[in-house]
Structure 1
Amino acid sequence: MKKLMTTAILAAFVAPGMAAADYTFALVPKAMNNPFFDLARDGCYKAQEELADVTCEYIGPGEHTEMEQVQIVQDLISKGVDGIAVAPSNAPAMAKALQAAADAGIPVMTWDSDLLPEDAGLRTTYVGTYNYDIGVNLAKLVMARHPDGGTICLQTGGAAAANHNERLKGARDTLSGMDTGEPPGTALAGEGGWTEISGCPLITNDDGNVAVQGMTDILAANPDLTAFLSTGAFTQWFDNAYRQAIEPYKAKMDAGELTVVVADTLPMQMDQLKDGLANGNVGQRPFEMGYKAMFILKDIKEGKSVEDPIYTGLDVCNNDNADSCLGQ
């Protein structure tokens, strides 16, 4: 059984060389082996440089492990940090843990992934992407290449991750042209001309190896698949593995017979898009999430009002605008 990180370990994740500050705010990602969250970490440390009275304590599970993340948050609460910004892997489980933060008077905000609506009162605000719109824009990229519909496989992160479920609903609503119900929405069976194939959506738990293998198996078993849509960058994290998996299908992608679209616009993903090994990416702004979180927690701690939610925007990229789409 994997040993959970203890309170004693937490202090090791303060940026090297930083002096003690008046406030210690924790930024808790879903996993620390995730290049997306590395950018949020960098934003957090940048804010630390600019705020003389704030220390960024970046700490999360080594890999995507829902209960380990909950334990880390519980340890932070016991330690008495001045504020917590968390990207919940399992929204209901995290809500139970955050009740203790509320009882202790520790400010809490979410980023990247939010709590469920019924638990939103446990945090002051959410900063990050309007996740539903990621699904909407991924679906639009698919529909632009296949206006008559077809068959599709959706790939997602954790089954209980609110952000990925919102993205799935955004994609399903857009493809079908109708409300498909509560997140993650109902699987499509011909609505709007689109049908989800058997075996999908693929659950990856944010594991890049699982994501690539799942995509490989689905493409091999469904040679006539119209589109593959992933709600997270995990599909493309491991550049060599992804390239080897998708290269056999490049001719079909070039011909418009197959479309592959993936959330996020990390550097390796943009190179893949420019090389024609993907057809679209919808990018978030994780650096900005980590950066803003420190300022927001400071405002909350000092009794200032903050907006809820605070959205950080999207970048929609395809094969035609890959060189210019970021930061628009």
Structure 2
Amino acid sequence: MRVLAYSVAAVALLATAAGAQAQSKKYTLALVPKNMNNPFFDQARDGCKKAEKELNGAIECLYIGPGEHGGGEEQVQVINDLIAKKVDGIAVSPANAAAVGKALEGAKKAGIPVLTWDSDLLEKDKGLRAAYVGTYNYDIGVNLAKLAQQIKPKGGTLCIQSGGAAAANHNERMQGIRDTLSGAKSTAAPGTKLTGQNGWTEVAGCPLYTNDDFPLAVQQMEDTLGKNPKLDAFIPTGGFPQFIPQAYRKVAEKYKARIDDGSLALVVADTLPAQMDLLKAGLSKGQVGQRPFEMGYKSMMFLKDMKDGKPAPKDPTYTGLDVCTPQNATSCVGSGT
């Protein structure tokens, strides 16, 4: 009986020690943006680092991604490297939804928990991640379109400027714009091109695709407004041209009279501080913003919970929107922290 008691006590002691060791393990959790030269993703990184600080050594926020956003190949390589290194969790904003989905099959086989943030996987691949954390992207498009409708109630000519053609989030935003302006629900992203529906027509050469190349985004904007001097609306689905504020300012100032009198509806996604300065300067008529800081913060907290055996977060977990106009510019942006 005494031997049995010692054995039971030893097993209990080992279990306690193992539990303590698991508790003290520092998890390496990767936050993978589409690219690392983007002020939007910088805010997500800051949220990730806040979680790291609050968790007091329990996690390492590994912020890693491509230097620039192209077709997504470099991001896929980053993900493959993270899987090979056996990180403890991955939160990724897919640049190319199909390619990232294929890469994440390796994470599933390796037992690495995955979240998507900012942009999601294709519907067929959503089983490869536990949840999506971020904006309801369709609603960004809806709100951008509503701002344009307020300025141009009779419709008109339009150019949408998007990110990557394979980026699910930007396609969903484009669908939201097109559906709202046309008054008809399309079956899939990026929606049905506007050819006169409800008074709206997309001009030749649009939509534009920037691949998050910000100088290119400014050049596209300048070229499009130059070729279409009576264009009624220019709507970027991300802050691309405004992410180089001085370059954007030089182009937008040429059209300030048209922005002021409402003959040009210039409304842009995202509400970073530099963008809000442009709105306040009268160089846009509206901004629809996300909360990237919260995306980075929550993604780390959720991955830590999952590693500790807690349930995955609600899928999807939406982080909210801010709809800003010249009238509410000083108070519209939520902290997201």
Q: Give SS of 1:265's match.
A: coil
Give, in whole Å, the separation in 2 of the partners of 1:312 and 1:21: 29
State yes or no: 1:102 paired with 2:108. yes
- Match runs of 1:256-267 below 5 Å: 256-267=262-273
State yes or no: 1:219 paired with 2:188. no
Tell whether the 8 Å contact from 2:29 to 2:89 is kept in structure 1 after alignment.
Answer: yes
Of residues 303, 319, 323, the one that matches 2:326 is 319
Give, in whole Å, the separation in 1 of the partners of 2:249 and 2:323: 21
Of residues 34, 43, 59, the one that matches 1:39 is 43
Match of 2:7 in 1: none
Give, in whole Å, the separation in 2 of the partners of 1:60 and 1:236: 22
What amino acid is the match of 1:58? Y
State yes or no: 1:74 paired with 2:75. no
Range that drifts further, 281-290 or 295-304: 295-304
Deviation per residue, 1:204-245 (Å, 9 max, x gap) = 001111111001000000011100000001120101100001
- Match runs of 1:147-162 below 5 Å: 147-162=153-168
Give, in whole Å, the separation in 2 of the partners of 1:249 and 1:180: 33
Report how many residues are paired.
Answer: 309
Of residues 84, 89, 92, the one that matches 1:83 is 89
Q: Give SS of 1:313's match.
A: coil
Please, what TM-score do these two structures have when normalized by structure 1?
0.93
Tell whether the 8 Å contact from 1:235 to 1:262 is kept in structure 2 after alignment.
Answer: no
Deviation per residue, 1:134-164 (Å, 9 max, x gap) = 0000000000011111110000000000000
What amino acid is the match of 1:309? P
Give, in whole Å, the separation in 2 of the partners of 1:220 and 1:106: 49
What amino acid is the match of 1:127? V
Match of 1:15 in 2: none
Of residues 206, 216, 224, the one that matches 1:200 is 206
Deviation per residue, 1:32-60 (Å, 9 max, x gap) = 00000000000000000011311100000
Give, in whole Å, the separation in 2 of the partners of 1:25 and 1:243: 38
Give, in whole Å, the separation in 1 of the partners of 2:237 and 2:119: 13
State yes or no: 1:191 paired with 2:191. no
State yes or no: 1:122 paired with 2:135. no
What amino acid is the match of 1:163? N
Identity %: 64
State yes or no: 1:245 paired with 2:251. yes
Q: Give SS of 2:305's match.
A: helix
Could you tell me which runs of 5 or more consecutive residues in structure 1 were left unpaired when the two chains were aligned. Answer: 1-19
Of residues 300, 304, 316, the one that matches 1:309 is 316
Deviation per residue, 1:254-277 (Å, 9 max, x gap) = 111111011000111000000000
Q: Give SS of 2:146's match.
A: helix
Give, in whole Å, the separation in 2 of the partners of 1:142 and 1:294: 36
The higher radius of gyration belongs to: 2
RMSD over aligned Cα atoms: 1.1
Deviation per residue, 1:4-43 (Å, 9 max, x gap) = xxxxxxxxxxxxxxxx962110000000000000000000
Tell whether the 8 Å contact from 1:48 to 1:56 is kept in structure 2 after alignment.
Answer: yes
Match of 2:61 in 1: 56
Give, in whole Å, the separation in 2 of the partners of 1:48 and 1:175: 42
Tell whether the 8 Å contact from 1:21 to 1:55 is kept in structure 2 after alignment.
Answer: no
Runs of 4+ in 1 over 3 A off after TM superposition: none
Give, in whole Å, the separation in 2 of the partners of 1:118 and 1:192: 33
Give, in whole Å, the separation in 1 of the partners of 2:208 and 2:92: 25
Q: Give SS of 1:185's match.
A: coil
What amino acid is the match of 1:307? K
Give, in whole Å, the separation in 2 of the partners of 1:58 and 1:93: 20
Give, in whole Å, the separation in 1 of the partners of 2:260 and 2:315: 42
Tell whether the 8 Å contact from 2:113 to 2:303 is kept in structure 1 after alignment.
Answer: yes
Tell whether the 8 Å contact from 1:69 to 1:89 is kept in structure 2 after alignment.
Answer: yes
Please, what TM-score do these two structures have when normalized by structure 2?
0.90
Match of 1:93 in 2: 99
Match of 2:237 in 1: 231
Deviation per residue, 1:274-303 (Å, 9 max, x gap) = 000000000000000000011110122223
What amino acid is the match of 1:116? L
Could you tell me which runs of 5 or more consecutive residues in structure 2 were left unpaired when the two chains were aligned. Answer: 1-23
